[in-house]
């Protein structure tokens, strides 16, 4: 414990103290205040470490303390300012000092003035522009804005102070203002309006969401951090709030969904990778035992090998286990204000040691549904492509009615051209033979029951439940309380990474063989026919 504490103190003093000073300088705009604030933050961190605190995520812990101490500094400054400037409106003789303010403008750089006007809040900005630039009277401004004359005077007094302080300050914009970061998103549920995807297509909203993630921020904070003038930032923030991706708490905004930072993702990866080799081996033994039974269900209609069948069976088995986890909530989605129900989360781009993304795409209707696992490795992401909606309906009808090639109508012939040689072929007797797995009626339900009744199922479940619970705990340690209700959904999204981990384990152990021609492969694709 002593050695670990000393190591953390050494890491802090060598890697963070200079960064903390510049963080404080950017926030305060004053060297003396920055030194005082940085000393306060440093003192709190060193006291905690010497008491024996061992943070799981050191960097996140340091910056959480820094932000908390800065918030206290802001509150102290506000109290001090209110005491200093909390005078009655009768004492604010703004009309008499208008000439003094004009003189200040003449002696200052007009570019600085324009800059500062861009970085003060709208309600202050519109009053100062109306009074000093448009030359409107206090009574007229109050009438236009629906405020009292006293309220307008107080805001004018405070806005002048903000402008002067800002013009004296050497602004240091945040890192994201010149080095935009990126984030990957994942969603599920009903999204007919295009939300949330159409709200996060540009870098600006992405960086706003990253900045406000676990970090309640005012519009002015976001403006300074991203180097975007307040009027434009207000518009972006409104769009994201309307999309329910930002949540307003008082005068601050916080990202209203979980964005996993790099440290959290690595911690989750390590938790899910723990005992994964043994888990994958148990899954393989379960599948090997059940393979002869499921082959009797006539799901394979062509000359598909057992290895090709196993690609689907491995991934599907992991899915069945995941859906059986306590608190697994991919389908328990938040109801949005526009009537839609969808879940959403983000992950900062990071260097996880292996490719873990796997999609699950579907097309068709209740009677003829095509599905494909999108395997993001071994050149198998696209494979033979995906069956179209009409292709799924046609192939489902062919299977259901055992149709031959000669039975196709002219309109069906056009659909067949995109299907033949990829998802089905014609045999010597002119029968249409599917080249993907076919599950008729409730065959999949029977397979699910078979998986769950196997002796190794509980062993796999214990391993996965442990990984899931650890994932939830990691997310909880690194998230604002506002997001805690969403963490089971986020953990459910992240536990699906186990699918690709298992595939990697199987290929590495030689229990799965990568197809010789990945571009033409239809492994892990199937059609459900009812």
The pLDDT score that the predictor gives to residue 10 is 83
Segment (H or E) for 91: none
Rounded distance, CA 15 to CA 530, Å?
A: 62
Domain covering 175-257: architecture: Orthogonal Bundle (1.10)
Residue 479 CA, distance from chain mean position: 12
Segment (H or E) for 178: none
Secondary structure (3-state) at 331:
coil
Rounded distance, CA 412 to CA 391, Å?
A: 9
Do the two domains 89-168 and 175-257 of this chain adopt the same fold? yes
The pLDDT score that the predictor gives to residue 102 is 52
The pLDDT score that the predictor gives to residue 117 is 61
DSSP result, 379-398: T-SSTT----HHHHHHHHHH
- Angle at Cα 132 formed by Cα 130 and Cα 138, nearest 5°? 60
Rounded distance, CA 43 to CA 48, Å?
A: 9
Strands of 256-333 (E only): list them.
259-260
Environment class of residue 219 by beta-carbon count within 10 Å: exposed (0-12), middle (13-18) or buried (19+)? Answer: buried
Is the Cβ–Cβ distance between 92 and 117 less than 8 Å?
Answer: no
Domain covering 2-85: architecture: Orthogonal Bundle (1.10)
- Angle at Cα 476 formed by Cα 471 and Cα 479, nearest 5°? 125
Rounded distance, CA 309 to CA 167, Å?
A: 69
- Angle at Cα 291 formed by Cα 286 and Cα 292, nearest 5°? 130
Rounded distance, CA 448 to CA 143, Å?
A: 69
- Say if strands 358-364 and 368-375 run parallel, antiparallel, or are unpaired: antiparallel
Ramachandran region, residue 196 (left: φ > 0; alpha: ψ -120 to 50; beta: rest): alpha
Sign of CA dihedral 380, 382, 388, 389: positive
Structure tokens at 529: 């026919």
Structure tokens at 502: 């298992």
Is the Cβ–Cβ distance between 173 and 221 less than 8 Å?
Answer: no
pTM: 0.67
Rounded distance, CA 206 to CA 210, Å?
A: 6
Rounded distance, CA 132 to CA 121, Å?
A: 16
Rounded distance, CA 233 to CA 119, Å?
A: 10
| Domain locations along the chain | 2-85, 89-168, 175-257, 262-336+352-529
Rounded distance, CA 377 to CA 356, Å?
A: 9
Tell me, what DSSP letter sits at residue 336? P
- Say if strands 368-375 and 525-529 run parallel, antiparallel, or are unpaired: antiparallel
Nearest Cα residue to 469 out of 486, 447, 448, 491: 491
Q: What is the signed CA dihedral for 261, 263, 267, 269, rounded to 10 degrees? A: 60
- Say if strands 432-434 and 525-529 run parallel, antiparallel, or are unpaired: unpaired
Rounded distance, CA 464 to CA 451, Å?
A: 15
Rounded distance, CA 425 to CA 361, Å?
A: 23
The pLDDT score that the predictor gives to residue 87 is 43
**pLDDT tens series, the chain, 530 aa:** 567 888 888 888 888 887 888 788 777 777 778 888 888 888 888 888 888 888 878 888 888 888 888 888 877 776 655 544 444 444 445 444 555 555 544 444 445 555 556 556 677 778 877 877 677 888 888 888 888 888 888 887 777 776 665 555 444 445 444 455 678 888 888 778 888 888 888 888 888 898 888 889 888 888 877 777 777 888 899 999 999 999 999 989 999 999 998 889 999 999 999 999 999 999 999 999 999 999 999 999 999 999 999 999 999 999 999 999 999 998 877 788 778 888 899 988 888 999 999 989 999 999 999 999 999 999 999 999 999 999 999 999 999 999 999 999 999 999 999 999 999 999 999 999 999 999 999 999 999 999 999 999 999 999 999 999 999 999 998 888 888 888 999 999 999 999 999 999 999 999 999 999 999 999 999 999 99
Record: fold of 89-168: Arc Repressor Mutant, subunit A (1.10.10)
């Amino acid at each position: 414990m002593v050695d670990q504490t000393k190591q953390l103190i050494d890491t802090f003093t060598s890697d963070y103290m200079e960064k903390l000073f510049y963080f404080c300088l950017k926030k305060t705009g004053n060297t003396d205040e920055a030194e005082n604030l940085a000393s306060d933050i440093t003192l709190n961190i060193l006291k905690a470490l010497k008491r024996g605190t061992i943070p799981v995520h050191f960097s996140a812990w340091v910056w959480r303390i820094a932000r908390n101490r800065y918030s206290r500094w802001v509150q102290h400054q506000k109290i001090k300012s209110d005491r200093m400037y909390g005078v009655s409106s009768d004492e604010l003789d703004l009309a008499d000092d208008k000439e003094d303010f004009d003189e200040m403008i003449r002696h200052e750089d007009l570019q600085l003035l324009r800059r500062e006007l861009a970085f003060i809040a709208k309600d202050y900005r519109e009053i100062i522009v109306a009074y000093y630039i448009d030359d409107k009277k206090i009574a007229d401004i109050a009438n236009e804005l629906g405020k009292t004359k006293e309220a307008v005077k107080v805001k004018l007094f405070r806005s002048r102070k903000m402008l002067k302080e800002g013009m004296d300050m050497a602004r240091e914009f945040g890192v994201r203002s010149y080095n935009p970061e990126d984030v990957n998103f994942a969603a599920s549920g009903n999204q007919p309006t295009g939300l949330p995807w159409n709200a996060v297509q540009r870098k600006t909203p992405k960086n706003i969401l990253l900045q406000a993630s676990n970090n309640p921020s005012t519009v002015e904070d976001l403006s300074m951090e991203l180097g975007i003038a307040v009027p434009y930032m207000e518009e972006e923030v409104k769009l994201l709030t309307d999309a329910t991706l930002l949540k307003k708490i008082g005068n601050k905004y916080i990202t209203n969904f979980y964005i996993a930072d790099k440290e959290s993702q690595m911690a989750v990866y390590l938790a899910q990778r723990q005992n994964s080799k043994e888990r994958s081996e148990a899954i393989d033994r379960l599948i090997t035992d059940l393979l002869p039974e499921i082959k009797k269900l006539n799901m394979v209609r062509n000359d598909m090998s057992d290895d090709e069948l196993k690609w689907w069976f491995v991934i599907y088995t992991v899915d069945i286990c995941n859906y059986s986890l306590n608190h697994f909530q991919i389908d328990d989605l938040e109801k949005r204000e526009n009537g839609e129900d969808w879940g959403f989360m983000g992950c900062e781009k990071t260097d996880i040691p292996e490719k873990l993304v796997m999609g699950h795409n579907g097309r068709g209707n209740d009677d003829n549904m095509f599905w494909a696992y999108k395997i993001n490795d071994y050149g198998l992401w696209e494979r033979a492509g995906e069956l179209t909606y009409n292709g799924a309906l046609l192939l489902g009808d062919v299977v259901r009615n055992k149709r031959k090639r000669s039975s196709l109508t002219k309109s069906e012939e056009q659909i067949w051209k995109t299907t033949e040689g990829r998802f089905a072929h014609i045999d010597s007797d002119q029968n249409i033979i599917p080249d993907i797995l076919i599950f008729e009626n409730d065959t999949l339900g029977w397979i699910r029951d078979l998986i769950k009744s196997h002796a190794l199922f509980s062993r796999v479940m214990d391993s996965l439940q442990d990984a899931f619970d650890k994932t939830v705990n990691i997310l909880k340690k690194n998230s604002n309380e506002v997001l805690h209700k969403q963490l089971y959904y986020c953990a459910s999204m992240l536990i699906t990474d186990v699918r690709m981990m298992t595939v990697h384990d199987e290929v590495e152990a030689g229990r799965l063989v990568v197809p010789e021609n990945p571009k033409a492969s239809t492994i892990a694709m199937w059609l459900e026919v009812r």
